[in-house]
Homo-oligomer: A and B are copies of this chain.
Amino acid sequence: MPVNHQILLDNRPTGEAVASNFKLVTSETPALKDGEVLVRHHYLSLDPYMRGRMNESKSYTAPQPLGQVMLGGTVGEVIESRSSKFQPGDKVVGMGGWQQYSVVNAEQLGALRKVDTTHVPLSHYLGAVGMPGVTAWYGLVKIIEPKEGQTMVVSAATGAVGSAFAALAKARGCRTVGIAGGPEKCKYAVDELGFDACIDYKQYQDAASLSSALKEACPNGIDGYFENVGGMVLDAVLPRMNDFGRIALCGMIAGYDGRPMPMSYPALILTNRLKIQGFIVSEHMEVWPDALKELGTLVATGKLRPRETVAQGIEAAPEAFLGLLKGKNFGKQLVKLI
């Protein structure tokens, strides 16, 4: 059996996550039992939610256990199968974790999904046509429920979720405004992702000045907001929300390190009759087929051309992940494992 390099959670962060929280180990992949398949991972997905799981404290998922392989989405190829459902050579997406190979019980519903790489590159099944894309879809379609001509805003605009959000919102006839960090990302958001405008939050010292910039970029106010970061950005958006605006809350990167991150004026939820709703896309599996179909079509037709930042080799995963938390990636952060 092939040798497998794995990254474990060795200890939990106190405050900011650091490289020494992780540990690289080597093992042999075990022999397959009936119903199992061996998958060689081509790409590992790195996502902000992983930071939440590194904490001991209550979150929406159980904490990542210490001493075990970090959980994570993977795409790869079946190289050995003792299941009638998969053949060697099948391209599959699953939750293989931070390692080069995984042994998967193929009989378990939803554990592994075959994908077609004719029109969609394999790696995109971890991004635009995967969990981040469906996340954008659910927040936009199910929580924000946009109407043609309304204004939609998303933070972390050039990330995997943000770029899918833009394509989905534009397809619904909405003015779409991004918030991102740095002029390069903002230029890319407008030139390549189809945003009508993008605001560089790093240009603004406080929520009030960022809010003024939003007012200019959203002359008709904001009807829907997809929140990926929290903190100052949320404070800046809230006063710009129109009556009956909807906020889908999916990420709070700014708060993962345990620093308090208050919402300064929650009374605006009342005065503007807003709806704010938090969600986790894995709890809404019923929407995945519809969402993936639309996202796949957007990619196949070139309307969604997601950017990727690719680190090379499993040993590069921790640093790439820490960079992601600081916004150093540009588009979907992946680790190439072959």
Contacts and interface: CB of A to CB of B under 8 A. Distances in A.
Contacts of A277: 269, 273-276
Contact of A252 (B52, B230, B267): B267
Given A266-B230, A266-B252, A276 B273 contact: no
A60 B278 contact: no
Instruction: Give the interface residue-count category, chain A.
Output: 20 to 34
Interface in A237-259: 243, 249-252, 255
A251 B270 contact: yes
Contacts of A52: 271
A279 interface: yes
Contacts of A267: 230, 252, 255, 261
Contact of A278 (B58, B273, B278, B279): B273
A272 interface: yes
Contacts of A275: 275-278
Question: How many protomers of this protein does the assembly include?
Answer: 2
A234 interface: yes
Contacts of A272: 60, 278
Contacts of A273: 60, 277-280, 283
Q: Is the interface of A mostly helix, strand, loop or mixed?
A: loop
A263 interface: yes
Contacts of A266: 230, 234, 249, 252, 261-263, 266
A260 interface: yes
A220 interface: no
Given A278-B270, A283-B273, A262 B261 contact: no
A285 to B, nearest CB: 15
Interface string A218-247: 000000000000100010000000010000
Interface in A98-128: none
Given A262-B263, A276-B275, A270 B250 contact: yes
A59 interface: yes
A265 B262 CA distance: 5
Given A60-B243, A252-B270, A260-B264, 9 more contacts: A60-B270, A230-B266, A249-B266, A252-B267, A269-B276, A269-B278, A274-B278, A275-B276, A275-B277
22 contacts: A52-B271, A60-B271, A60-B273, A230-B266, A249-B266, A252-B267, A255-B267, A260-B264, A261-B265, A261-B267, A262-B266, A263-B266, A266-B266, A269-B277, A270-B278, A272-B278, A273-B277, A274-B278, A275-B276, A275-B277, A275-B278, A276-B277
